[in-house]
């Protein structure tokens, strides 16, 4: 009956084993009772046929047979009662958890087995260690001091004591170039966004209405250890107080001050292409998001590339796009190849204010391209095609290309491929043409 208290047996296993044992014991008692009956029958038969007939016709049983029945019934009742008690105990019994004991935990985590592996006493760096020692910032990255109330007051002292407006005759027109407008917006931002460190502001410009001003600034989260700076530009509705000083009536949403945004110069191209052209990114002094240069023809020939053609992930949600992009980038790193990257992305309608798909968006505007090119080997798709055509025109020996038309071809099958370009094509209908399908299954 030890299995009833064994924690490794389930309740169904315990019940099955218990019923089997119960049937065996009951069958044992039946055999004993049958043997007693045979014995009584044989003894009476030897006493004579008449006695046997008399016993058969008698209304009362012999004393020995009645005694055997009483004993068997008593034993069976005791057995059934014992079985019920044991069953209740087995069901309600909960063995102690060995992991609850602090002594057991200490023994498990401190005991060193006599194995063939050496004990690793090295210090393992965690995410906290990496965060506490950020990468080295470029020169001048921390030169900008966050703007505080004391800095604003000191700047105001340098202004002349002339009145802002003579009697506030025209309260519907705001001179956005007035420094006091900028100081008012700076104070408003310090109160409204306490978790943000504002580094510098650009001179406000006129908005869409006479009492609106667009302002651009660079900022960083106060808790962020990175040296990188981010940019925002918003539209503010400016009003006047009783003493003719400026006040912020309303602040626009994220990047609503389009007039304060740096102008973008579109690239004029005479080439016809089905893909949308992208505008060059805004040049920032601290952020280097320039496109890596391929180099000479020999460098292009000696390289190894993984090229993903545009699939069904285009114009899908950002979650699907990120998962597919990371899948492709991970395969390139696994194959030790340079990933050919299309910087023109499409924003799905769920991420746009117009609720329509918007093509021709620059990847560098939404992601940290500088960090990406520092940690992974990538090349821009346009430069890649240009160097590819240039090589094929100048040399008789063409670049070796392996075209993979099925996502079921796993990266392991391409690991030993010697082709210069592995070109994954996603021409099948959805959902067979999603990039992330490459990373499904054993991959």
Residues of 383-403 as b/e, b for ≥16 C-beta within 10 angstroms? ebeebbeebeeeeeeeeeeee
47: buried, middle or exposed (CB in 10 Å: 19+, 13-18, 0-12)?
exposed
In this structure, are residues 399 and 387 in contact, taking their beta carbons and an 8 Å threshold?
no
Q: Verify cis geometry, omega within 30 degrees of 0, for the bond prior to 416.
A: no
pLDDT tens for each residue of 166-199: 446 666 788 898 889 999 999 999 998 888 889 8
| 8 A C-beta contact, residue 45 and residue 55 | no
Residues of the chain under the 50 pLDDT cut: 46-47, 49-56, 58-59, 98-100, 115-117, 124-128, 130-135, 137, 141, 163-167, 265-279, 281
Q: Quick one: pLDDT at residue 70?
A: 80
Beta bridge partners of residue 217, listed in sequence order: 201, 232
pLDDT value at residue 26: 66
pLDDT, position 121 = 59
Look at residue 130 in the predicted model and tell me its pLDDT.
43
Q: Which residues pair with 145 in a beta bridge?
A: none
A 10 A CB-CB count for 365 gives 14
Q: Which domains does the chain have, with CATH numbers?
A: 2-98 (no CATH), 149-260 (3.10.450), 297-439 (no CATH)
Q: What is the pLDDT of residue 332?
A: 92
With beta carbons less than 8 A apart as the criterion, state whether 223 and 236 touch: no
pLDDT in tens, 105-116: 566 556 555 544
Nearest to 341 by CA among 364, 312, 318, 357: 364
- Supply the angle between the helices 11-46 and 49-57 in degrees, to the nearest 10: 130
Which residues lie closer than 8 Å to 335 by C-beta, 6 or more apart?
304, 306, 411, 414, 415, 422
In sequence order, which ranges of 47-148 are alpha helices (DSSP H)?
49-57, 63-92, 102-110, 127-132
Q: Which residues have a Cβ under 8 Å from the Cβ of 65 and sit 6 or more positions away?
A: 36, 37, 40
| Number of other residues whose CB lies within 10 A of the CB of residue 13 | 12
């Amino acid at each position: 009956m030890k299995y009833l208290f064994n924690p490794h047996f389930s309740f169904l296993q315990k019940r099955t084993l218990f019923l089997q044992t119960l049937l065996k014991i009951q069958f044992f008692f039946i055999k004993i009772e049958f043997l007693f009956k045979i014995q009584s029958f044989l003894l009476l038969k030897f006493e004579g046929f008449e006695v046997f007939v008399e016993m058969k016709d008698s209304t009362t049983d012999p004393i020995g047979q009645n005694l055997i029945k009483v004993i068997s019934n008593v034993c069976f009742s005791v057995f059934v009662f014992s079985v019920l008690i044991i069953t209740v105990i087995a069901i309600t019994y909960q063995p102690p958890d060995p992991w609850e004991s602090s002594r057991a935990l200490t023994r498990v985590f401190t005991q060193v087995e006599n194995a063939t592996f050496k004990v690793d006493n090295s210090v393992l760096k965690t995410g906290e260690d990496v965060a506490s020692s950020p990468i080295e910032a470029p020169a001048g990255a921390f030169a900008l001091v966050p703007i505080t109330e004391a800095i604003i007051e000191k700047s105001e002292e340098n202004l002349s004591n002339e009145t802002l407006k003579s009697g506030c005759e025209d309260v519907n027109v705001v001179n956005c170039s007035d420094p006091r407008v900028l100081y008012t917006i700076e104070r408003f931002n310090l109160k409204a966004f306490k978790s943000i460190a504002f580094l510098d502001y650009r001179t406000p410009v006129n908005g869409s209405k006479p009492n609106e001003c667009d302002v651009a600034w660079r900022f960083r989260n106060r808790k962020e250890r990175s040296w990188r700076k981010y940019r925002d530009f918003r539209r503010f509705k400016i009003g006047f107080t009783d003493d003719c000083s400026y006040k912020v009536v309303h602040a626009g949403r994220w990047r609503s001050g389009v007039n304060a945004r740096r102008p973008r110069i579109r690239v004029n191209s005479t080439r016809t292409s089905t893909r949308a052209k992208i505008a060059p990114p805004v040049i920032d002094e601290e952020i280097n998001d320039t496109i890596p240069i391929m180099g000479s023809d020999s460098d292009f020939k000696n390289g190894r590339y993984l090229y993903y053609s545009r699939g069904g992930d285009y114009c899908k949600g950002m979650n699907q796009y990120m998962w597919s992009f990371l899948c492709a980038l991970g395969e390139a790193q696994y194959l030790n190849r340079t990933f050919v990257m299309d910087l023109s992305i499409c924003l799905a309608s769920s991420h746009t204010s117009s609720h329509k798909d918007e093509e021709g968006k620059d990847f560098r505007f939404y992601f940290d391209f500088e960090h990406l090119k520092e940690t992974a080997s990538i090349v821009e798709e346009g430069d890649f095609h240009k160097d590819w055509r240039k090589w094929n025109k100048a040399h008789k020996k063409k670049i070796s290309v392996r075209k993979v038309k099925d996502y079921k071809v796993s990266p392991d099958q391409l690991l030993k491929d010697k082709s210069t370009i592995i070109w994954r094509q996603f021409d099948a209908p959805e959902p067979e043409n999603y990039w992330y399908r490459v990373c499904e299954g054993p991959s």
